[in-house]
Amino acid sequence: MILPSDYTKLKTKIGKGFSHMKADEWKSWVLVYSPVLLKPVLLSNMFNGWMHYVKACRILVKPSISFIEIDQAHRYLQEFCQSCEDTYKPKVLTCNMHLHLHLHDTIRDFGPVYGYWLFGFERYNGLLKNNKTNRKNGFETTYMTKFTADAYKADYIRNTLSCSSLIPFLPLFEKLTSTTTPITTYATYAPTNQQPF
């Protein structure tokens, strides 16, 4: 499958279980893979119920969402929960199923889930755990030393480039300052029924 650019490719086979999937991989599974892969496997009533959940998630993961969309996503989640209640035994239904029905209130109170979900934190956790420490100063000191050095590289380069004799070293300096950092986007709240957050 060719995935849209903002979706994460699954690295392991679904048949091996879901235990090690990250949140972005869950997003890809629910929104992209599952509608294609589950259709030939599930009975039509199960698949249709699942698709209510997929439709709700497609709305809810957007960085901007209107009150009308919140209500639409809530209706999809209600239909999903009802189909689960009709299809499965009670022991399958968890408290998360009930919490789906309170999500619309949470979004009305705090804005789109995009603004407070934990995908961003998971990315930062991945960056943090890949930092090498010298086991002498601890993680905090090592991380802050690296952060401070990265933060001041650009200032150092600008000051150094004021000397015209160092212009031939410009490509090297540019490589030193090209550091990739994650970007977090926050949506704003608009208090009318028609305007998105």
Where do runs of H (alpha helix) occur along 61-195? 67-87, 95-100, 103-110, 119-129, 138-161, 170-177
pLDDT-based confidence at residue 180 (cuts at 50, 70, 90):
very low
Q: Alpha carbon of 11 to those of 2, 6, 8, 38: distances in Å?
A: 14, 16, 9, 18
Tally: H helices and E strands in the chain? 9, 0
Average pLDDT over residues 167-186: 55
Q: What single letter denotes the amino acid at residue 178?
A: S
Sorted by sequence, the CB contacts under 8 Å of residue 131 that are 6+ apart come out as 139, 142, 143, 146
pLDDT-based confidence at residue 174 (cuts at 50, 70, 90):
low
Better pLDDT: 176 or 93: 93
What are the structural domain ranges in the chain?
Answer: 21-119
- Calpha distance 194→64 (Å, rounded): 12
Residue 166 confidence (pLDDT) above 80: no
Better pLDDT: 30 or 13: 30
Better pLDDT: 188 or 90: 90
What pTM, to 2 d.p., does this model score? 0.59
- Calpha distance 187→65 (Å, rounded): 9
Shortest CA distance to 57 belongs to which of 119, 135, 11?
Answer: 119
